[in-house]
Structure formats: C-alpha cells, structure tokens
Structure 1
C-alpha cells in the first residue's frame, strides 16, 4: 500500500512510519524538520517542511497514494489552530488529487462520553478538558473540517498517550469512546490507525481507542 504520513517526526508519526515500513508499505514521510526523523526510518521518502506551507508540495506528497495518515498536532497548550489549519491543507490537496482515505489523530475529549463511565473518570476528563481547552477546541475544529470534506476520513481519539510498547491489545469504539478510557501507547495508536485503513465501518466517523 502507498501511504503518506504527515507529522512523521512526532511520537505517533514515527510509530506509523516504522510500523508501516515493517509491514512492507511504501511510505512517504512529510516532516517539519527532516533531521528529527530517527535513524532506521530512512527508507521513507522525505518531503521537508516546505510541504506543509506550499499547496503544490502538499499535493505532490499525496498524489497517487492509497491513504494519508496524520500525526500532526499541538506540542503545548497553545495550539494556534495548527491541527485545523494543517489538516485543512491536507484535505484540500487530497480533494484536488482525488485521494480519498484519510486518518488523523484527535483525542478522547473531542468525542462523546462513554455510556456508564464512572464518575471519577468523567470528572477527570472534564478537568483535563478545562486545562487543555484550546488544544481540544483546535481538534474539534479539525474534525469539523473533516466532516465538511469529501474525504473518507477517520479521527482516531486516544486518551493520555504513553511511550509504552505496541501490544496490539486495546479497545476500540467506532463512533464512540471506550468506557474508562485513561491511557494508550503511541505505538498502539499507530497500530490502530494502520489497522483502520481498510475498515469501512470507520469511514467518516471518530474511533475511540484505549486500554
């Protein structure tokens, strides 16, 4: 499969690239700083930071691909609309090139609360949402961009990310949120995104993932 990965130097992005290459996929990595891509992932074809700012370069990065995956997102509490803005550029490029499948990283608080969630989990999530209000507002606007698009998108919504290993063992809720969603490793988020590429049930909806 021919894949393009945006945000390939981030925690989730690196995992997507590594796991995709290990599975035999052809990977194009679009990064802000090529020097941050770890050694061992150099089999990915690199597009530099200009690709994120140049519509023609973004189109070139997605042209002819079977799917596009994005690990783009804010690195702090002041996202400055980065998820909405950059995802909008990716969507525009995909629509121009006729590329359909798009998977992005969002977050559990953007999705619906899980039915029967314990009170402690609901209160904890609301507190986190208040602290990171700008980040989640940006992700909410990003998902609105997806919903208005012609792409076959999936927003993968993890809770708190960890640096744990890939286990391949986690819960998924298509269109919802797993009960008591607390953590999941970046490696397993990447695993989930790659596994969802060919899942028709996950098209044009959010998918909550958690241990």
Structure 2
C-alpha cells in the first residue's frame, strides 16, 4: 500500500512515517523542506506546502493519505487543519475515483459528550475549548469539511485526548465517542495506520482510549 503522510515532520507524523515504513508499506512523506528532514529507511520524501498550495499535487498511485497536520499550540489562530485538509481533499478529487483520507482531530471537538464522564463534559472540555477557541474551531471546521465532501473523499477521523510521548499500550478505539484520557503518540500512529487499511472505518470517527503499557520484547 502506498501511504502519503501530511505533517510528516511533526511529532505524530514522523512516527506514522517510521511505523508505516517498518511495516513494509511504500511511504511518501510530504515536507516543506526536504533538506531539513531525515527520512527513515524505506520512506520517500516529496516537497509540498499542504496548507499554502491550493494546487497541491499528490503521487498518482497513492492509496491513502494520513494527515497529522495541526496548530502548534492552544493559542494557534491560523486555520491550518481546515485549509490543509481542503487542499488534500481537492488533490485527491483531481486524481479521480474515491480518495482515502485519515485525519487527526481532537477530543474537545466532539460536543455531544458521548463517552465522557459528567465532570469532564461540563467542566474540562468547555474550559479547554475556551482556551483554545481558534484552534478547536479550525479543527471543527476540518471535520465539517470532511462530512460535506461527498463521494470524492473516503474519510476517517481520530480524536485523541492530550498527547504524550510514550510507548505503546493495549489501546482501544472508541467508535463515535470520546475517550477522555491522555493518548500515546505511538498508539495514535498505530491507530491511524490500522484505520487506513480498514474499509469499515470509512465515514466514521473514533476516540482513542489509552491502555496498559505493552512490555518491550526481551
């Protein structure tokens, strides 16, 4: 499978690239400046301005795009997610056929409160949304864009909680609900790759529930 990774230089995107290459997939990393990016063995590098380029081009034989683009902090105001995702959707549509796209969203975007304890739904999530209003409005706009994309885009959304740099756990994906726990970036990368090959995940969203640490191999 040919997997294209947007946001490949970020903390999550770089893990997706490494894990996908290690699993034997053909991987293309979209990066702003290839000179500053050390690709892992088995990964190709393609210069691309995903957020800025309205005429973004993707490899002709791409099977799935995994997007880990996002704002740099809760105070981010630039519409990175919605703009970059629109360019990816349009680039997939220009290729013809139905483009597969798996994206990283965030727990505070799901406003129904499904999967959250009462205190988290009434106190924590509203507070986080207020602090990062522009950031989460941008991510919510990204989700709305995907849901309105029609038959050209076969999308899947993953909403992790607060991301931490940690090893793998026996995580669980929670369909159409939130998982109000922190999430390991390693687990998130693994989940994105698993969903990219799962046809039943098309048109669905998932929370990511952190589990028990997986013992390292001796």
Taking structure 1 as the reference length, the TM-score comes to: 0.89
Alpha-carbon separation, structure 1, partners of 2:59 and 2:203: 19
Shift of 1:109: 1.1
2:68 to 71, 82, 85: 71
Taking structure 1 as reference, are residues 35 and 126 closer, same or farther at Cα in structure 2, changes over 3 Å only?
Answer: farther
Report the structure, 1 or 2, having the larger helix content: 1
- Secondary structure (helix, strand or coil) at the match of 2:207 reads strand
User: Which deviates more from structure 2 when the two are superposed, residues 61-70 or residues 7-16?
Assistant: 61-70
Do the aligned residues in 2 keep the contact of 1:63 with 1:94 (CA within 8 Å)? Answer: no
1:97 to 95, 103, 118: 95
Give the corresponding residue for 1:87. 85
Do the aligned residues in 2 keep the contact of 1:109 with 1:125 (CA within 8 Å)? Answer: yes
Is it true that 1:2 corresponds to 2:2 in the alignment? yes
Give the corresponding residue for 1:152. 154
- Secondary structure (helix, strand or coil) at the match of 1:128 reads helix
Do the aligned residues in 2 keep the contact of 1:156 with 1:193 (CA within 8 Å)? Answer: yes
Alpha-carbon separation, structure 1, partners of 2:15 and 2:122: 29
Alpha-carbon separation, structure 2, partners of 1:50 and 1:114: 36
Do the aligned residues in 2 keep the contact of 1:62 with 1:94 (CA within 8 Å)? Answer: no
Shift of 1:21: 0.3
Runs (4+) off by over 3 Å: 49-56
Alpha-carbon separation, structure 1, partners of 2:148 and 2:42: 34
Alpha-carbon separation, structure 1, partners of 2:51 and 2:45: 12
Shift of 1:193: 0.6
Shift of 1:182: 2.0
Alpha-carbon separation, structure 2, partners of 1:82 and 1:105: 12
- Secondary structure (helix, strand or coil) at the match of 2:192 reads helix
- Secondary structure (helix, strand or coil) at the match of 1:176 reads coil
Alpha-carbon separation, structure 2, partners of 1:116 and 1:107: 14
Count of residue correspondences: 205
Alpha-carbon separation, structure 2, partners of 1:175 and 1:54: 32
Shift of 1:123: 1.4
Aligned-pair RMSD on alpha carbons?
1.9
Taking structure 1 as reference, are residues 5 and 40 closer, same or farther at Cα in structure 2, changes over 3 Å only?
Answer: closer
